[in-house]
Amino acid sequence: MRLLVLGGTGFVGGAVVSEAVRRDWSVTVFNRGLHGEVPAGVHRVRGDRTAPDGLAALSGGAWDLVVDTWDGAPRAVRDAARALVGAVPQYVYVSSGSVYAEPVPPGVGEEAPTVEAEVDAADGDYPRNKAGGERAAVQVFGDRALLARAGLILGPGEDIGRLPWWLRRIARGGEVLAPGPRDLPVQYIDVRDLASWLLDRGAEGAGGAYNVIGRTGHATMGELLDAAVTATGSDPTLRWTDPEPILAAGVEPWNDLPIWIPRGHAYRWLQERGVERAYASGLVCRPVAETVVDTWRWLCEVGQVPPRAGRPARAPVGLDPAREAELLAGVGGLA
């Protein structure tokens, strides 16, 4: 297989490249050449897809599959799809569950309406950028466009820092504010499982939209944090605490306490999406312990969470130690 990855040095794009190399595919990456390295044997083509004639370096090429992870202006997807429509039969666009129009019911499936978005938009918020990118890919490639609506993506290489924050916090030891309940189901996907699915389905010519994320309850908050304790070899005290006092203290789920979204929260649906179609198509998700252990090993090797490729720096996730200590002193109810 001849694979073209638009990007290829960020979190998801890097995992796709690594998996394709493992399969002994011929891999080309297209990017500005300003961020990250590519594995030996990968052909790098430089260009800026947002500049006039920025895709010219791809002219005359031919591939069996293209994977696009773009999360900026939809017109960049539009332009790339138009430039490649004669060079590749299949367009895989890595989208997001954030495209669904609110209010979103728990268990939402791919048939649900998405936010309004324009394929010609110069920019927008994240949901509209992704929805516009989807529409741009479909506008050009039709049913040869595969839309992978990922959710929470974890694993080695994570460039937001959600799981790395938990790992570092638990490695530090002491009393850890553990947001309950312990058996709260978590929905996520390991980036390597996402990459495998993208290449498998892309190679077979699948099209349409899929919620590409593990089943709700593939792991729980308790299993995730227990795995982090084991992976780091630390000896913390996990102070499992009911959601009510945590929320009353002004803590923001997802940002202040990464990954955690309690039942009844407005965005709980982000961890309760319907995944029947993805599993029926062959999605396989590895155990949470493997994701946690491998992420800790990678984090120890690189030392810090890398910046997001091609995107502005974002505020760090997670509570600072002083805020956590204040919360631990004030909350009481065990989950």
Both tokens of 81, joined, read 């799809």
How many C-beta neighbours within 10 Å does residue 152 have?
Answer: 20
User: Quick one: which H or E segment has residue 30?
Assistant: strand 26-31
Give the per-residue pLDDT at 315. 78
Query: Could you give the domains of the chain?
Result: 2-153+190-212 (3.40.50.720), 156-186+217-272+287-330 (no CATH)
Q: Quick: pLDDT tens for 63-116.
A: 999 999 999 999 999 999 999 999 999 999 999 999 999 999 999 999 999 999
Buried b (16+ CB within 10 A) or exposed e, 115-144: bebebebeebeebbbbbbbbbbbbebbeeb
Mean of pLDDT values over 254-279? 97
Residue 310 pLDDT class (50, 70, 90 cuts): low
Q: Quick: pLDDT tens for 236-266.
A: 999 999 999 999 999 999 999 999 999 999 9
Cα(126)–Cα(144) distance, integer angstroms = 24
Mean of pLDDT values over 43-56? 96
Give the per-residue pLDDT at 333. 56
Closest to 66 in 3D by CA, of 126, 25, 34, 127: 25
Give the per-residue pLDDT at 51. 95
Residue pair 331/243 in contact (Cβ under 8 Å)? The answer is no
Q: Quick: pLDDT tens for 145-188.
A: 999 999 999 999 999 999 999 999 999 999 999 999 999 999 99
Least confident among 53-62, 275-284, 322-331: 322-331
Cα(9)–Cα(159) distance, integer angstroms = 11
Both tokens of 270, joined, read 């982000």
Give the per-residue pLDDT at 36. 83
DSSP string for 122-166: S---HHHHHHHHHHHHHHHHGGGEEEEEE-SEESTT-SS-HHHHH
What phi and psi, each to the nearest 5 degrees, are found at residue 90?
-135, 130
Give the per-residue pLDDT at 43. 97
Q: How far is CA 271 from the centre of its chain?
A: 13
